[in-house]
Chains A and B, each alone.
Chain A
Amino acid sequence: MTGMASNNSKHDSTVFMRTQAFGSGFNDKRISKEHMKLTTIDGQQIKQAVGKWKDKPGNLIMMLHEVQGCYGYVPREVALKLSHEADVPLARIYEVITFYNYFKLQPPGKFNIAVCMGTACYLKGAPELMQELKNRLSIDEGQTTGDGMFHLDGVRCLGCCGLAPVVAVNGRVHAKVKKGDIIDILSKCKKEANS
Chain B
Amino acid sequence: MIRAKINGISLRVPEGATILEAAEKVQIKIPVLCKHPDLPPTAACGICIVKLKGMNKMLRACCTPIEEGMEIITHDPEIVEVRRSVIELILSKHPNECLSCGRNRNCELQKLAGDFGINEQSFPQYLADIPADNSTKSLVLEPRKCISCGRCVHVCQQMQNVWALSFLERGFDTRISPAGDIQLADSPCVKCGQCSAHCPTGAIFEYDETGKVWELLQDENKYCIVQIAPAVRVAVGEWFGFKSGANTTRKLYAALRRMGFRAVFDTNFGADLTIVEEAHEFVHRFTKEPTKLPLITSCCPAWVDFMEKFYPDMVDHFSSCKSPHQMVGALSKTYYAQKQRLDPSKIVVVSIMPCTAKKHEISRDREMFASGHQDVDISLTTRELARMIKQAGIDFPNLPEEDADHMLGEYSGAGTIFGMTGGVMEAALRTAYDYVTGGKLKNVDFENVRGLQGVKEGTIPVGSHEVKVAVAHGLSNVEYVLNKVREAKKNDRVPPYHFIEVMACPGGCVGGGGQPYGVTDAVRNQRGDGLYEDDREHKIRYSHENPFVKKLYKEFLGEPRSEKVHHLLHTTYRPMPEYKR
> Which residues of A line the B interface, CB within 8 A?
1-11, 18-19, 21-22, 29-32, 34-35, 76, 79-80, 89-95, 97-99, 105
Q: In the complex, which residues of chain A have a beta carbon less than 8 angstroms from the beta carbon of B452?
A: 2-3
Number of A-B contacts (CB under 8 A): 121
State the CA gap A119–B576 with chains docked (Å).
Answer: 43
Verify A4–B159 contact, CB threshold 8 A. yes
Verify B166–A3 contact, CB threshold 8 A. no
Q: In the complex, which residues of chain B have a beta carbon less than 8 angstroms from the beta carbon of A80?
A: 579
State the CA gap A35–B577 with chains docked (Å).
Answer: 10
State the CA gap A156–B178 with chains docked (Å).
Answer: 31
Q: In the complex, which residues of chain B have a beta carbon less than 8 angstroms from the beta carbon of A1?
A: 38-40, 159, 506, 521
Q: In the complex, which residues of chain B have a beta carbon less than 8 angstroms from the beta carbon of A18?
A: 310
Verify A3–B161 contact, CB threshold 8 A. no
Identify which of A22, A32, A79, A105 contacts B577 (C-beta below 8 A).
A32
Interface of A is mostly: loop
Verify B166–A8 contact, CB threshold 8 A. no
Q: Which of A11, A90, A93 has the most CB of B within 10 A?
A: A90
Q: Which of B38, B311, B579 has the most CB of A within 10 A?
A: B579
Q: Which of B161, B179, B310 has the most CB of A within 10 A?
A: B179
Identify which of A5, A21, A95 contacts B167 (C-beta below 8 A).
A95
State the CA gap A3–B480 with chains docked (Å).
Answer: 12
Identify which of B168, B483, B521, B579 contacts A32 (C-beta below 8 A).
B579
User: Which stretch of B238-246, B290-298, B469-477 is in the interface?
Assistant: B469-477
Verify A8–B158 contact, CB threshold 8 A. yes
Q: In the complex, which residues of chain A have a beta carbon less than 8 angstroms from the beta carbon of B159?
A: 1, 4
For this complex, 21 residue pairs linking A to B, each with C-beta atoms less than 8 Å apart, are A1-B38, A1-B506, A2-B524, A3-B455, A3-B506, A7-B455, A7-B476, A7-B483, A8-B479, A9-B479, A10-B158, A10-B161, A11-B158, A18-B310, A35-B579, A89-B163, A91-B163, A91-B178, A95-B168, A98-B168, A99-B169
Residue of B with least CB distance to A100: B170
Verify B178–A99 contact, CB threshold 8 A. no
Identify which of A4, A30, A99 contacts B170 (C-beta below 8 A).
A99
Verify A19–B311 contact, CB threshold 8 A. no
State the CA gap A194–B480 with chains docked (Å).
Answer: 55
State the CA gap A22–B170 with chains docked (Å).
Answer: 35
Separation in Å of the A74 CB from the closest CB of chain B?
9
Verify A91–B164 contact, CB threshold 8 A. yes
Verify B309–A79 contact, CB threshold 8 A. no
Q: In the complex, which residues of chain B have a beta carbon less than 8 angstroms from the beta carbon of A94?
A: 166, 168, 179-180
B157 beta carbon closer than 8 Å to chain A: yes
State the CA gap A11–B158 with chains docked (Å).
Answer: 7
Residue of B with least CB distance to A31: B577
Interface string of B214-251 (1 = CB under 8 A from A): 00000000000000000000000000000000000000
Residue of A with least CB distance to B169: A98
Verify A21–B165 contact, CB threshold 8 A. no
Q: In the complex, which residues of chain A have a beta carbon less than 8 angstroms from the beta carbon of B487?
A: 21
Q: In the complex, which residues of chain A have a beta carbon less than 8 angstroms from the beta carbon of B477?
A: 3-4, 6-8
Q: In the complex, which residues of chain B have a beta carbon less than 8 angstroms from the beta carbon of A8?
A: 158, 161, 476-477, 479
Interface string of B178-216 (1 = CB under 8 A from A): 111000000000000000000000000000000000000
State the CA gap A153–B264 with chains docked (Å).
Answer: 69
Q: In the complex, which residues of chain A have a beta carbon less than 8 angstroms from the beta carbon of B310?
A: 18, 30
Separation in Å of the B305 CB from the closest CB of chain A?
13
Given A4-B506, A7-B479, A91-B165, 17 other A-B residues pairs in contact with their CB atoms under 8 A: A1-B506, A2-B454, A2-B473, A3-B473, A3-B474, A6-B455, A8-B161, A10-B157, A19-B483, A21-B483, A34-B581, A35-B579, A89-B157, A89-B163, A98-B168, A99-B170, A105-B180
Interface string of B497-525 (1 = CB under 8 A from A): 00000000011000100000000010010
B316 beta carbon closer than 8 Å to chain A: no
Identify which of B179, B507, B579 contacts A2 (C-beta below 8 A).
B507
Residue of A with least CB distance to B455: A6
> Which residues of B line the A interface, CB within 8 A?
38-40, 157-159, 161, 163-170, 178-180, 309-313, 452-455, 473-474, 476-477, 479-480, 483, 486-487, 489-490, 506-507, 511, 521, 524, 575-581
Q: In the complex, which residues of chain B have a beta carbon less than 8 angstroms from the beta carbon of A31?
A: 577-579
Separation in Å of the A35 CB from the closest CB of chain B?
8
State the CA gap A19–B474 with chains docked (Å).
Answer: 18
Identify which of B165, B167, B480, B524 contacts A6 (C-beta below 8 A).
B480
User: A-B pairs with the 7 shortest C-beta distances?
Assistant: A3-B454, A7-B480, A2-B506, A89-B163, A91-B166, A32-B577, A8-B476
Q: In the complex, which residues of chain B have a beta carbon less than 8 angstroms from the beta carbon of A76?
A: 180, 581
Residue of A with least CB distance to B575: A29
Q: In the complex, which residues of chain B have a beta carbon less than 8 angstroms from the beta carbon of A34?
A: 580-581
State the CA gap A19–B455 with chains docked (Å).
Answer: 18
State the CA gap A32–B455 with chains docked (Å).
Answer: 32
Separation in Å of the A79 CB from the closest CB of chain B?
7
Verify B579–A90 contact, CB threshold 8 A. yes
Verify A79–B473 contact, CB threshold 8 A. no
Given A2-B524, A4-B476, check contact A32 B580 (CB 8 Å): yes
Separation in Å of the B176 CB from the closest CB of chain A?
11
Separation in Å of the A175 CB from the closest CB of chain B?
32
Given A3-B455, A29-B575, A98-B168, check contact A19 B179 (CB 8 Å): no
State the CA gap A76–B178 with chains docked (Å).
Answer: 13
Verify A22–B580 contact, CB threshold 8 A. no
Q: In the complex, which residues of chain A have a beta carbon less than 8 angstroms from the beta carbon of B473?
A: 2-3
Identify which of B158, B178, B180 contacts A4 (C-beta below 8 A).
B158
Verify A90–B506 contact, CB threshold 8 A. no
Q: In the complex, which residues of chain B have a beta carbon less than 8 angstroms from the beta carbon of A10?
A: 157-158, 161
State the CA gap A93–B452 with chains docked (Å).
Answer: 33
Residue of A with least CB distance to B421: A2
State the CA gap A137–B198 with chains docked (Å).
Answer: 54
Q: In the complex, which residues of chain B have a beta carbon less than 8 angstroms from the beta carbon of A97?
A: 180
Residue of B with least CB distance to A89: B163
Identify which of A6, A79, A90 contacts B454 (C-beta below 8 A).
A6
Q: In the complex, which residues of chain A have a beta carbon less than 8 angstroms from the beta carbon of B486?
A: 21-22
Separation in Å of the B171 CB from the closest CB of chain A?
10
Residue of A with least CB distance to B181: A94
Q: In the complex, which residues of chain B have a beta carbon less than 8 angstroms from the beta carbon of A5?
A: 454
Verify A2–B474 contact, CB threshold 8 A. yes
Q: Which of A8, A11, A105 has the most CB of B within 10 A?
A: A8
